[in-house]
Amino acid sequence: MYKSILAILLAFFVSNSFAQTADEVINNYVTAIGGMDKINSIKTAKMTGKFSAGSMDINFTRIYKRPSKIKMEMQIQGMTMIQAYDGTMGWMLNPFQGSREPEKMPDIDAKYLANNADLEGTIVNYKDKGATVEFVGKEDMEGTDVYKIKLTNKDGDVNYYFFDATSYLLLKESTKRKMGEKEVSMDFIYGNYKATDGFLYPWSVEIHAPESPMGASQKAVIEKMELNVATEDADYSMPEKK
């Protein structure tokens, strides 16, 4: 009986130690990218750059506005593809599917877009976003020591985050995403961190997804980033059909 009680108490303290360690890693990450005050001061953001998939180079513009608004425009072969989330609903314009009018985005795609509507990501202020975290452990990632944290968001989806054990910068994020009838594993490799007005952000993201229809490897490179730019709620709303 006493052994059982001891085991339960030990499990309790170990689990709480892990939770505290996860928060410590996340807090150090927040400090590394500029601190909570800096993050909270960012009300809007705009970035432009190039997205490469196979032989295609695609110019993109992405804008953010708190709370939970995001819009991305991609220029492909003289046409503009749009994906947006206005805080409550996702919508898209995809001329490559023969559509010349904006339309409501499928719920599963809107969910993924909504989860990326905060510039700092779900991991920052994760409790306020309905997520939970767990410290998994310390690992070696291609010669770099990293702390691995498991995040379960409010929908039950699981992401794994890998933070540099020295700088505490986020180096990698692993997740799974439903694409059609398949669930595809995806790794996001973050690099080339640069500071904009005191906020550190990765200007290079490599996407490894062997089963993705867009190819096994893609890359997004930011060429310009601006904070607290002029943008209105209407910029994220779905236009009325003509």
Could you tell me if residue 102 is inside a domain? no
- State the pLDDT at residue 2: 43
Integer Cα distance of 8 and 23 in angstroms: 23
Of the chain, the end-to-end C-alpha distance in Å amounts to: 73
Q: Cβ distance 121 to 143 under 8 Å?
A: no
Q: What is the pLDDT of residue 9?
A: 39
Q: What is the pLDDT of residue 241?
A: 76
pLDDT of residue 218: 87
Rounded Cα distance, 6 and 84, in Å: 52
219 in a domain, yes or no?
yes
In a domain, 89, yes or no: no
Name the pTM for this structure.
0.86
- Taking 50 as the pLDDT cut, the residues of the chain under it are 1-20
Count of domains for the chain: 1
pLDDT, residue 55, reads: 77
Indicate the residue type of 221: V
Looking at residue 46, its pLDDT comes to 98
pLDDT at site 180: 66
In a domain, 76, yes or no: no
Domain that holds residue 51: 2-64+123-228
Give the pLDDT confidence score for residue 190 in this predicted structure.
Answer: 97
Residue 110 lies in a domain: no
Is it true that the peptide bond before 213 is cis, omega within 30 degrees of 0?
A: no
Answer yes or no: is 22 within a domain: yes
Q: Is 25 a member of any domain?
A: yes
Residue 81 lies in a domain: no
Question: What's the pLDDT tens digit per position in 52-89?
Answer: 887 788 999 999 999 999 999 999 888 899 999 999 99
Cβ contact 161:173 at 8 Å: yes
pLDDT for residue 18: 44
**Which position has the token pair 């409790």?**
127
The CATH number covering residue 43 comes to 2.50.20
